[in-house]
Amino acid sequence: MKILIVARYKERGYTPFVQEQVEALEKAGQECRFFPVRSRGVLGYLRHLPDLRHAISEFKPDIVHAHYGLCGLLSNLQRKVPVVTTYHGSDINNRKILRLSRWAIRLSAYNIFVSFKNIETACPGNNHALIPCGINLEDYPITDKVVARNQMGLEPSGKYVLFAGAYDNPVKDPDLAKTAVGYLTGVRLLELKGYSRQQVALLMQAVDAILMTSRSEGSPQVIKEAMACGCPIVSVDVGDVRERIGEIDGCFVADTRDPEELAGLIGKALAFTGRTDGRDRIIASGLDNNSVAVELKKIYMISQKR
pLDDT of 306 > 80? The answer is no
Pairing of strands 63-67, 2-10: parallel
Domains 2-134+288-304 and 137-284 share a fold: yes
Mean of the per-residue pLDDT values of the chain: 95
The arithmetic mean of pLDDT across residues 38-58, rounded, is 94
List the one residue out of 216, 218, 213 whose CA is nearest residue 173.
213
Q: What is the pLDDT of residues 160-217, one digit of tens each?
A: 999 999 999 999 999 999 999 999 999 999 999 999 989 999 999 999 999 999 999 9
pLDDT for residue 11: 82
**pLDDT exceeds cutoff 80 at 58:** yes
CATH topology of domain 137-284: Rossmann fold (3.40.50)
Q: What is the pTM of this model?
A: 0.89
**Domain ranges for the chain:** 2-134+288-304, 137-284
Q: Which fold has domain 2-134+288-304?
A: Rossmann fold (3.40.50)
What would the DSSP string read from start to end of 181-229? Answer: HHTSTTEEEEE--S--HHHHHHHHHHSSEEEE--S--SS-HHHHHHHHT
pLDDT in tens, 88-126: 999 999 999 999 999 999 999 999 999 999 999 998 988
